[in-house]
Amino acid sequence: MGTLGYNDLRKGVVFDIDGAPYEVVEYAFVRMQQRKAVAQVKMKNLITGKVLSRNFHQSESFEEADMQRQPIKFLYHNRGEYWFSEKNDPSKRFSLTADAVGEAGQFLKPNTEVSAISFNGKIITVALPIKVDLVVKETPPGERGNTAQGAMKIAELETGAKINVPLFVNTGDVIRVNTTTGEYAERVEKN
């Protein structure tokens, strides 16, 4: 594991502070009057999910967090818990809370392969593929003649997630969703 300086703090970097892994969510370098530049960082505790804001100075350094990834399979979601198993052994099951899985959990469908992310040997969260293909379970029909650029409507997906989609998307279509932003990416298959 390497040592990181404040110049290394970029979006997505995971570092260890006081024995907890934090991921940089946002950062900006700011020059204070008559002082040295500081890195203003919004960071997310990957165990608790809490987001904190903190300023770091040039003199500070951090350890890169020791994170491991392993492939696992999503099984089902029940009462705020997401259940997973080892990729090749469905009998080895474990669950994570909705907070640990995060917003992307709404795009998980059974038997999806994801990555378990471990810190100090304990699974703390999962990483989904950046894009997933999901069936549109229900969406109102596009209104004829409404060709306004960028006009959108709400669609409910097979996982229960609700997102904005273009008017031409219909019930039964398969669409690609960006799990990081929660936004429609493209239509993959027409019903």
Domain ranges of the chain: 3-64, 67-127, 131-189
- Size of the chain in residues: 191
Reading the block at residue 87, the tokens are 């990729």
The CATH code belonging to domain 3-64 is: 2.30.30.30
**Per-residue model confidence (pLDDT) at position 100:** 84
Which CATH number describes the domain made up of 131-189?
Answer: 2.40.50.140
**What is the pTM assigned to this prediction?**
0.73
Report the candidate in 104, 175, 106, 190 with the shortest Cα–Cα distance to residue 136.
175
Q: What is the pLDDT of residue 167?
A: 93
Nearest to 125 by CA among 105, 93, 99, 101: 101
Q: How far is Cα 175 from Cα 169, in angstroms, rounded to an integer? A: 8
List, for the chain, all residue ranges whose pLDDT scores fall below the cut of 70: 1, 143-149
pLDDT at 154: 96
What residue has token string 């795009």? Answer: 107
Question: Please, which residues bridge with residue 64 across strands?
Answer: 15
Per-residue pLDDT at 31? 82
Give ∠ CA 152-153-158 in degrees, rounded to 5: 125
* Whole-number Å distance between alpha carbons of 186 and 165: 9
Q: Do domains 3-64 and 131-189 have the same CATH topology?
A: no
Q: Which CATH number fits domain 67-127: 3.20.20.100, 2.40.50.140, 2.30.30.30, 1.10.357.10?
A: 2.40.50.140
pLDDT value at residue 144: 63
- Cβ proximity of 159 and 149 under 8 Å: no
pLDDT of res. 82: 95
Distance CA 87, CA 64 (A): 27
How confident is the model at residue 30, as a pLDDT? Answer: 86
